[in-house]
Amino acid sequence: MCGIAGMLNLAPRPPVAPEAVYSMLEAIHHRGPDENGVFTDEWAGLGSARLSIIDLAGGRQPIHNEDGTIWVVFNGEIYNYIELRRELESAGHVFSTHSDTEVLVHLYEEDEQGWLLKLNGQFAIALWDQKKQTLILARDRLGVRPIFYAVRDGALYFASEIKSLFTQPGLRNEFDPIALSQIFTFWTTLGKRTCYRNISSVLPGHYLKLCGGRMTEHPYWSLDMNPASDSPEPSLDEAADQLLWLLKDAVRLRLTRSDVPVGAYLSGGLDSSSIAALASQHSDARLKTFSIAFGDQAFDESDYQKRTNDFLGVDNDAIHCSHADIAAAFSEAVRHAETPLLRTAPVPMLLLSRLVHEHDFKVVLTGEGADEILGGYDIFKEAKIRRFWARQPDSAFRPLLLRRLYPYIGALSYGGDAYLKMFFGKNLADTGDPFYAHRLRWQNTARCLRFFSPAWQDEIKGYDPLAELAESLPPEFKTWHPFSQAQYLEIVIFLSGYLLSSQGDRMGMANSVEGRFPFLDPRVVDFSVRLPAEYKMYGLREKAVLKRAMKDLLPPETLTRSKQPYRAPIRSVFFGGNELGYVAENLSAEKILETGYFAPESVAALIAKFKRGANVSETEEMALTGILSVQLLHFMWRS
């Protein structure tokens, strides 16, 4: 694991200076504090800030092939590198290290068209082919690891984090109004857009090819949500057995393909507990786990964590997050996320990775991805109930099934059944809408846009983020089961765009901690998303197949407890009686006017509502967090 950065001359220019690449690496030193390495020639420069995990002594990057004509830097891990190395050595390739990185140059030589599909891993790769004068920038299937790029003055710059690009002349943190409109709707941007003008992201499952001054974009993988047709449909028990085998092997690979100790995150929920249970089977030593405890009981899962810890016999340490802790670290979290945040949930993850680092661990297994690929979120239940209600729209009882789904959303808690019917009954009959499961939520979040200033309202006037998303859907989307459609949207938007980025990679690597995700093993993903919908959600019981698979490995209360989504407080963090100076300063009328993104009167009214203790909606909490993070980002990385 590491951070990568570099550049490519797209036209005749002075040769790439090593100093320029080193300056980019310095900005992402936290991603790879162990050592730096740089390669440059007349056209290209590749740099790596290394967090050494595999082949500690010999895996320094950049790494090249036998004759030094192909060079690579790479952020991530290739879990099947040992198997790939055997094949490549049988084909005559000669290795000079024991690292997973070196597999990449030889695999590219051997199979230039299909090499990326052979990788089981999480990666962002920059590969320079000197003979063909070609640069490849590639990203793993679901976007676990990031890579950003920008073109300026005849050169392309790339890096694991955007702040690295800002070290180069002419690249500035200027917000893109369309991107902010997307973020204040989906919590993330769409496609390759970032929140900054002229800076893009390589898409998950894609690679960029730059040759002869020309850049082309190529997909090498995409989600297939169609039911498996090459074999008979398994029974639920058979599916559970297959899933368990796949998960066991995914955990094995992520535990054993490391030359440093591997720990695990443990929330007390089904997903992280499943990974911890499987990881505990691979060693006689006690697995080291790390957890988050909240002082606010509405968010705390400590009791469940303790029960699971005791059952599994793991060695657990927890970070205790108070409101003040989250407020104090929010600005740092925004700096590492490099994008506006509409919730504070990334902050405890930042503090958790700090705890891991303090215990001298570099790698942790986590349960991310299970909710998306196996149908664990309440939004899936919500869509199912609404479709059931739509068959009898006048029913007084069917909408009441929604009552207990979201006790943590204020308006639904104190608004009563009338509000529930009004909110969830909107567009009830439009069951053919491709966004049936998500439209209400996105429209609710988009209400945050009313806080934009008139000038920025004009910038996005007439733009519809949902229309752009609809145009990007794959042609086969409309043929998928409604449950699969909802899963697809969660995977490509929430998981790839937000969860693995703002709440995952960026918060872990801020403290030089690599997360590994067994549920996102390509074999687990391909198997899970194509299972029948009822294997994932049986009635209103989420992740039925996973619970069946883990029935003998976890305590009953872990298997039967209701889904509790990971959240963190907002209102009490920023207005809980100990307001920090940076909050008041950045939300002041003077600063709001200075940046120009938001309407000072609207922001002032919002703040007054929080301060006087009035009921605030989920949208208002998201708006407050988003406004504050935009304000903070505006003043970062400015010379």
Q: What tens digit of pLDDT does each residue of 46-90 get?
A: 999 988 887 777 778 999 999 999 999 999 999 999 999 999 999
Give residue 552's region: left, alpha or beta (phi > 0; psi -120 to 50).
alpha
pLDDT at 637: 82
**In the 3-class helix/strand/coil scheme, how is 576-621 assigned residue by residue?**
CCCCCHHHHHHCCHHHHHHHCCECHHHHHHHHHHHHCCCCCCHHHH
Lowest mean pLDDT among 109-123, 369-383, 403-417, 526-540: 403-417
Model pLDDT, residue 639? 56
pLDDT for the residue numbered 408: 57
Cα 11 to chain centroid distance, Å, stands at: 35
Residues of the chain with CATH 3.40.50.620: 236-373+492-560
The rounded distance, in Å, linking the Cα atoms of 445 and 620 is 9
* Averaged pLDDT, 416-431: 83
State how far the Cα of 211 lies from the Cα of 198, in Å rounded to an integer.
20
| pLDDT of amino acid 98 | 93
112: left (phi over 0), alpha (psi -120 to 50) or beta: alpha
Q: Which residues are 149's β-sheet partners?
A: 158, 200
User: What span, in angstroms and rounded, lies between the C-alpha atoms of 203 and 545?
Assistant: 30
139-157 pLDDT tens trace: 999 999 999 999 999 999 9
Tell me the pLDDT band of 285, cut-offs 50, 70 and 90.
confident
- Which position has the higher pLDDT, 297 or 325? 325
Radius of gyration (C-alpha) of the chain in whole angstroms:
24
Question: Which of 2, 195, 321, 448 does the annotation list as catalytic?
Answer: 2
- Contact predicate 494/437, CB 8 Å: no
Nearest to 296 by CA among 327, 271, 265: 327
Q: Measure Cα distances from 460 to 1, 342, 579 in Å.
A: 38, 19, 33
Q: Tokens at residue 234, please?
A: 């398994």
Q: How far apart are CA 508 and CA 356, in angstroms?
A: 9
Convert the pLDDT of each residue in 463-515 to its tens digit.
999 999 999 999 999 999 999 999 999 999 999 999 999 999 999 999 999 99
pTM score, two decimals? 0.95
Note the pLDDT of residue 404: 72
Q: Please tell me the least confidently modeled range out of 52-66, 119-133, 422-436.
A: 52-66
Which phi and psi angles does 527 have, rounded to 5°? -70, -45
Q: Please, what is the angle between helix 465-472 and helix 177-186, to 10°?
A: 80
Question: Considering the chain, what percentage of its residues have pLDDT values greater than 90?
Answer: 83
Distance CA 580, CA 325 (A): 11
Give the pLDDT confidence of 616-630 residue by residue, as tens digits.
999 999 999 999 999
What band does 238 get if pLDDT is binned at 50, 70 and 90? very high
pLDDT for 414 equals 54
Task: Say if CB 431 and CB 387 are below 8 A apart.
Answer: yes
Q: Which two tokens stand for residue 425?
A: 């009954």
Calpha distance 605→600 (Å, rounded)? 9
Q: What are the pLDDT digits (tens) for 154-212?
A: 999 999 999 999 999 989 999 999 999 999 999 999 999 999 999 999 999 999 999 99
- Indicate the SS3 state at residue 3: strand
| Residue labelled with tokens 């004759």 | 67
Give the mean pLDDT of the chain: 93
Residues 201, 148 contacting (CB under 8 angstroms): yes
Query: What is the β-pairing status of strands 148-152 and 155-159?
Result: antiparallel
- 2 belongs to the catalytic site: yes
pLDDT of amino acid 299:
85
For residue 30, the 8-state DSSP code is G
- Residue 544: pLDDT over 60: yes
Phi, psi of 262, deg, nearest 5: -120, 130
Query: What distance in Å separates the CA atoms of residue 26 and residue 515, rounded to the nearest whole number?
Result: 22
Angle at 404 between CA 412 and CA 303, to 5 degrees: 110
| 548 vs 518: CA distance, rounded Å | 18
> Domain 236-373+492-560: which topology?
Rossmann fold (3.40.50)
Reported residue count of the chain is 639
Res 407 pLDDT > 70: no
Residue 589 pLDDT exceeds 60:
yes
Specify the pLDDT at position 411: 54
% the chain with pLDDT above 70: 98
CATH number 3.30.70.260 is the correct assignment for the domain at 2-219: no
| 3-state SS class at 475 | helix
pLDDT the model gives residue 348:
97
297 against 389, higher pLDDT: 389
Q: Where in the chain is the domain with CATH 3.60.20.10?
A: 2-219
Distances (CA, A) of 578 to 8, 102, 324, 397, 583: 49, 52, 7, 44, 11
pLDDT recorded at residue 409: 58
pLDDT at 423 over 90: no
- CA nearest 564: which of 405, 358, 441, 351? 405
Per-residue pLDDT of 332-382, as tens digits, reads 999 999 999 999 999 999 999 999 999 999 999 999 999 999 999 999 999
CA atoms within 13 A on the CB side of 214: 3
Q: If phi over 0 gives left and psi between -120 and 50 gives alpha, with beta otherwise, what is residue 62?
A: beta
Q: Provide the Cα torsion 410, 413, 416, 421; round to 10°.
A: 80
Q: How far, in Å, CA of 541 to CA of 139, rounded?
A: 34
pLDDT of residue 53: 81
Fill in the amino acid letter for 605.
A
- Report whether pLDDT(416) > 70: no
DSSP letter, residue 31: G
What pLDDT was estimated at residue 580? Answer: 87
pLDDT computed for residue 396 by the predictor: 85
Residue tagged 């499952």 (tokens):
205
Of 62, 145, 44, 144, the closest CA to residue 99 belongs to 62
User: Residue 11: pLDDT above 90?
Assistant: no
Tokens, residue 603: 């922001």
State the residue for tokens 């976007």. Answer: 143
How confident is the model over 287-312, as pLDDT tens digits?
999 999 998 888 888 888 999 999 99
